[in-house]
Homo-oligomer: A and B are copies of this chain.
Amino acid sequence: MNLSDLQKEYEKHLSSHPFTGKPSNLYDSMNYILSLGGKRVRPLLAIIGNQIANGEIHHGLEVAHIIELFHNFSLIHDDIMDQADIRRGQPTVHKKWDEPTAILSGDNMLVKTFEYLLNYQGPNREIIAKIYTQTAIGVCEGQQLDMDYAQIPNSVHEDDYLNMIKLKTAILLGCSLECGFLSGGGHVEDSALFYDFAINVGMSFQLMDDYLDAFGDELKTGKKEGGDIIEGKNTWLKIKSHDLFPEKTETLFSMSPEERVNPTIEFWKSQQIDQELILKANEYHQNALSILNTLTQKGYNIQLLDDLAHWLLDRQH
């Protein structure tokens, strides 16, 4: 099976496990966020891990579903905190329903992940439960840091930012692959390698996301966009720029949102901050590839992970 087959396996699992219960708005809103789609990277990682360990796929699907539900819980609550109106082109849960419903459907989805976790009877149950729970705590901490840093943008440094995106995004990817591997009966001694691989892919992906938001459209279409710059969002670029040139960066970001896009992009290119970001993202990418080497030497068939890294990291938009 290739990546696309595995994605389809998960979609089949998802559509055969809709939430049911009352009151209906609570459960409708939970089904709604899951119906909005997405790349399903986390379930894919879990199923790949399961398959690499030669596991029974239904155990991988169970773990995949737990983590995808956790991811969707965090989307519902993050959208409230970010006051976001749109998610994947559709109204967010708190816009389509209201904020209390969004808080509660997130809460209920989070409880559901533990219900499914407790029902899981496949290999390595206890260790999977431990990794998942610690990851869930880490993601809450990461989201809190993200919220906090938005209040104090000029006091955030590169290491803070890397730690934040690791907690907020990368560890859930690590958890997906590692727990998937363990659900296939994979050995605990090797499982940390899978965790580290996915963490490094996640870090590289997130940094490339920062890069492409500023420079991607220019590469592809010649047009500058820079949505993150307009929003004044803390990205690696803005934080690194402030670490190196605090006054200049503050001057740029004191300009009006639309006006600052071009001069900011020009400044970052003139100082080669764009190139530094590519180097940083490549560092993580190389770490990931070197872990794949180790896994190959250990006799694992890592084809699917190689495919996944290409799919996620070789992109221009």
CA of A22 to CA of B140 in the docked complex: distance in angstroms? 10
Task: With A111-B136, A118-B130, A133-B114 as known contacts, state yes or no: A22 contacts B141, CB within 8 Å.
Answer: yes
Q: Which residues of B contact A299 (CB under 8 A)?
A: none
Give A208-258 interface residues, CB cut-off 8 Å to B.
none
The interface residues of chain A, by DSSP majority, are classed as helix
Number of chain A residues close to chain B: CB under 8 A = 37
CA of A107 to CA of B143 in the docked complex: distance in angstroms? 11
In the complex, are the beta carbons of B137 and A112 less than 8 A apart?
yes
A90 at the interface (CB under 8 A from B): no
A26 at the interface (CB under 8 A from B): yes
Contact residue among B23, B99, B114, B126 (Cβ-Cβ distance under 8 Å from A114): B114
Task: With A77-B103, A100-B81 as known contacts, state yes or no: A26 contacts B144, CB within 8 Å.
Answer: yes
Q: Which residues of B contact A23 (CB under 8 A)?
A: 141, 144-145, 148
Q: Which residues of B contact A89 (CB under 8 A)?
A: none
Give A256-304 interface residues, CB cut-off 8 Å to B.
none
Q: Which residues of B contact A115 (CB under 8 A)?
A: 133-134, 137
Contact residue among B99, B114, B147 (Cβ-Cβ distance under 8 Å from A104): B147
